């Protein structure tokens, strides 16, 4: 298949480009394709004529989005909509990567695809608006929600915690935010299966299980550093985070693909592969 990937320079985009090597992949970072430029999006899609457009591009500075709402909307919502519109025009299928932050975290149990989003932050709102534009575009679409991504490329929570642990000081990590840590390589492999699956619409794709940020940090550093639990209020981050946005799925069996493995197994393998 011919596949166009946006956000191709990011941690998920780069893993996808490697996992999908058997296909004809056209990966674009922001410099190669600004998805907020509707004309550029249409020209690129019309030139490549892809079977799939996979959008991993995002304004993912959760705190920064609080004071840069227009910029976050341009990428996370409008840009996603332009891609879906162009995909529909070219008869391509469209996959849009979204987030657990579309939920408010008050449910008390894992969110499934039938739960109604209620984002707390500007970032979450723009991502949800992007979902709506993609699903309403008339294209053959799939919205894949995932969470707490980490991988070999770019910056992420796992790398940040490992770097902080080398300083010799205790790490203060929030213990009242619970979610689904997900390895980008596992997600990329799942996506490789999804593009050959008949399933469409909204789908949750995360490594199995859940933990708090504090528990995640403890698993990352092991005995290499002291980790102290704190509250979200103590962390004083500008953007509100959902307290428990663990993702589950009631639709995954329809994909015909094996569920992603437990987050603990994925993390152990990842830690063995990095310096």
Of 123, 128, 150, 214, catalytic? 123
Q: Which residue has the tokens 């849009």?
A: 96
51 burial class (0-12, 13-18, 19+ CB within 10 angstroms)? Answer: middle
Establish whether 153 is a catalytic residue.
Answer: no
Please state whether beta strands 149-150 and 182-183 pair in parallel, antiparallel, or not at all (unpaired). parallel
Q: What single-letter DSSP state applies at residue 171? A: E
Enumerate the β-bridge partners of residue 140. 93
Distances in whole angstroms, Cα of residue 269 to Cα of each of 15, 52, 209, 240, 259 = 15, 30, 16, 31, 17
255, two tokens: 């994909």
- Dmax over Cα atoms in the chain, in whole Å? 55
Distances in whole angstroms, Cα of residue 65 to Cα of each of 71, 94, 121, 173, 240 = 8, 25, 8, 22, 11
What is the set of active-site residues? 123
């Amino acid at each position: 298949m011919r596949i166009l990937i946006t956000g191709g320079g990011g941690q998920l985009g780069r893993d996808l480009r490697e996992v999908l090597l058997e296909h004809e992949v056209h990966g674009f970072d922001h410099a190669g394709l600004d998805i907020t430029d509707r004309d550029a999006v249409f020209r690129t899609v019309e030139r490549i004529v892809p079977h799939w457009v996979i959008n991993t591009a995002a304004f993912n500075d959760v705190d920064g989005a609080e004071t840069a709402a227009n910029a976050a909307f341009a990428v996370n919502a409008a840009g996603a909509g332009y891609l879906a519109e162009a995909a529909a025009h070219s008869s391509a299928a469209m996959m849009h990567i979204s987030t657990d932050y579309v939920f408010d975290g008050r449910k008390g149990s894992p969110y499934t695809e039938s739960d109604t989003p209620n984002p707390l932050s500007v970032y979450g709102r723009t991502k949800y608006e992007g979902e709506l534009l993609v699903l309403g575009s008339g294209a053959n679409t799939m919205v894949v929600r995932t969470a707490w991504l980490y991988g070999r490329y770019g910056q992420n929570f796992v790398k940040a915690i490992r770097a902080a642990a080398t300083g010799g000081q205790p790490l203060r990590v929030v213990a009242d935010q619970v979610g689904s840590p997900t390895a980008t390589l596992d997600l990329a492999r799942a996506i490789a299966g999804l593009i050959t699956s008949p399933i469409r619409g909204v789908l949750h794709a995360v490594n199995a299980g859940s933990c708090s940020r504090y528990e995640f940090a403890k698993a990352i550093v092991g005995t290499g550093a002291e980790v102290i639990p704190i509250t979200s209020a103590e962390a004083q981050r500008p953007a509100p985070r959902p307290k428990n946005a663990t993702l589950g799925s009631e639709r995954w069996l329809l994909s015909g693909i094996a569920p992603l493995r437990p987050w603990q197994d994925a993390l152990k393998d990842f830690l063995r592969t990095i310096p």
